[in-house]
């Protein structure tokens, strides 16, 4: 591949090494496996777990949280996008919209019990914002969260319980939605009228997912 804009000259040595390592991985390991799966249209749980393990082994989950730079993150996304857009979407949602959101706004118990699993590729999360009627415009969000005045021990057990809510609504076009272990669902809190993100285990009663 010719470098018409002499982009390589702008990179630090560690960034080039990281970019080249990611490039070899996606072209030699990922592409031969995902291309026939994509052609056949049978991407399932087995393939997702294999891909998730591979990404974790490459250290591509939590790049920024592990001391990497935004440049390295961007280079990794560029190389993944070159081979498969779905792969890049999966990794960037896990990084920016799940790990990044929890890092900035999550509770201590959420960070303690979710971070390691996300980084090690043992958990997949998703970011549920977009809705069928008004897309990603939160001003018209119809999904609501009603406080139940009870505590939930879903994160960290009863000693780390947090306020429980009943979430009512629908989401659409949610990357990782059908394979996620938990959902970060955006909803309007009926007690405060504020838009907030809520942690929802994927196996909770009432959660329905379909492709």
Alpha helices in the chain (DSSP H): 13-25, 31-40, 45-57, 70-83, 85-92, 100-105, 108-119
Is the per-residue pLDDT at 201 higher than 60?
Answer: yes
Range 153-158 average pLDDT: 40
101: buried, middle or exposed (CB in 10 Å: 19+, 13-18, 0-12)?
Answer: middle
Distance CA 168, CA 195 (A): 14
Tell me the CA end-to-end span of the chain in Å, nearest whole number: 37
Give the pLDDT of residue 34.
85
Q: Alpha-carbon distance 17 to 59, whole Å? A: 14
What is the pLDDT of the chain when averaged over all its residues? 88
Contact 34, 51 (CB under 8 A): yes
Most confidently predicted of 128-132, 144-148, 150-154: 128-132
Q: Residue 10 has what pLDDT? A: 87
Q: What is the DSSP string of 111-155?
A: HHHHHHHHHTTS--EEEE--BTTTBT-GGG---EEEEEEEEE-TT
Q: What is the pLDDT of residue 42?
A: 77
Q: Radius of gyration over alpha carbons of the chain, in Å?
A: 19
Q: What is the mean pLDDT of residues 51-63?
A: 94
CA dihedral (95, 97, 100, 106) positive or negative: negative
Q: What is the pLDDT of residue 43?
A: 79
Return phi, psi of residue 159, to 5°.
-70, -15
Rounded mean pLDDT, 77-85: 93
> How much is the average pLDDT of 99-106?
89
Pick 95 or 66 by higher pLDDT.
95
> What pLDDT does 161 receive?
53
At 158, is the pLDDT very low, low, confident or very high (cuts 50, 70, 90)?
Answer: very low
Q: How confident is the model at residue 150 (pLDDT cuts 50, 70, 90)?
A: low
pLDDT value at residue 157: 38
162-196 pLDDT tens trace: 678 899 999 999 999 999 999 999 999 998 999 99
Question: Could you tell me the pLDDT band of residue 153, with boundaries at 50, 70 and 90?
Answer: very low
pLDDT of residue 111: 86
The structural domains of the chain, ordered by start, are 7-106 (1.10.540.10), 125-201 (2.40.110.10)
Predicted pLDDT of residue 156: 39
């Amino acid at each position: 591949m010719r470098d018409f804009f002499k982009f390589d000259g702008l990179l630090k040595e560690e960034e080039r090494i990281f970019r080249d390592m990611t490039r070899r991985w996606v072209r030699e390991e990922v592409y031969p496996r995902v291309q026939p799966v994509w052609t056949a249209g049978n991407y399932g749980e087995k393939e997702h777990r294999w891909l998730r393990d591979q990404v974790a082994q490459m250290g591509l989950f939590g790049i920024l949280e592990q001391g990497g730079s935004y440049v390295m993150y961007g280079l990794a996304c560029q190389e993944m996008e070159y081979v498969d857009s779905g792969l890049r979407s999966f990794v960037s949602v896990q990084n920016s919209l799940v790990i990044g959101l929890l890092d900035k706004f999550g509770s201590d118990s959420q960070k303690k019990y979710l971070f390691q699993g996300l980084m090690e590729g043992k958990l997949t999360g998703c970011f549920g914002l977009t809705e069928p009627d008004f897309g990603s415009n939160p001003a018209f969000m119809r999904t609501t969260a009603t406080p139940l005045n009870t505590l939930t021990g879903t994160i960290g057990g009863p000693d780390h319980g947090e306020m429980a809510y009943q979430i009512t609504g629908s989401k659409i076009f949610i990357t990782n939605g059908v394979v996620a272990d938990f959902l970060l669902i955006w909803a309007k809190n009926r007690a405060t009228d504020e838009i907030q993100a809520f942690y929802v285990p994927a196996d909770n009663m009432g959660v329905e997912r379909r492709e």
